[in-house]
Amino acid sequence: MKMRIGLAVVAAVTSMAGTALAADGDKFLVRGDATKTTLEQNMLNIVTAEKIAQACVAEAKKEGVRVSVVILDQFGEQIYFYRMDGQGRQGIATAFLKAKTALNTRQPSRATANAVARGAVSELRQWSFGNFPQGGGLPIIVNGNQLVGAIGVGGSPGRPNWNDEICAWRGLSQVMGKQPDLLPVVNPPPAAAPAGGGRG
């Protein structure tokens, strides 16, 4: 009997924790009448998307750099886009590519970059899957396991303790709470020296 009561208590606590977690995540999602037209309950809302992007832009300003930031929904459609003055086509395009890579793989675009650097897969193969193997794209997840979109940041020059990925991570963390730690950067092995024996 005590065992059953204990299990019932554990189940109730687990259920309450799950409900609390879902309620917390709900504040980031589209709710109310808007869901009736889209028939979608897990879409990131525009208020949250704008806050994330603007938090990232504020971080870029602190660093004295310019970025482009895009927030995509889980279907790859644009929710919010912001381009700082002075951003060229490359920074804009890479922001979108990085976000799409995070959506495709359900993980940071850095994971794709690291796989290429380790030689586990070629860059061309990643391109064939629609992935851009560079850091700067992160999945946006609520309630622990629900993908609701992705952020992509492009355009800022990387340097110690700063890159596009850090910008995205800081923006997400400020708005949605602490995000998973960023993956380490894997550098490709140095190119082998050419073999000797040639003429000259």
Query: What CATH number does the domain containing 109 carry?
Result: 3.30.450.150
In a domain, 122, yes or no: yes
Asked if residue 197 belongs to a domain, the reply is no
Number of domains in the chain: 1
Which residue type, as a one-letter code, is found at position 85? D
Q: Which residue has the higher pLDDT, 41 or 14?
A: 41
Domain that holds residue 101: 37-176
Give the bridge partners for 154, in sequence order: 68
- Rg of the chain, C-alpha, whole Å: 21
Q: Does residue 75 sit within a domain? A: yes
What is the rounded CA–CA span in Å between residue 34 and residue 37?
A: 6
Answer whether residue 22 shows pLDDT above 70: no
| Average pLDDT along the chain | 86
Q: CA 147 to CA 103: how far, in whole Å?
A: 8
| pLDDT value of residue 6 | 47
- Mapping DSSP to helix (H, G, I), strand (E, B) and coil, where does residue 104 land? helix
Per the structure block, which two tokens stand in for 185? 């950067």
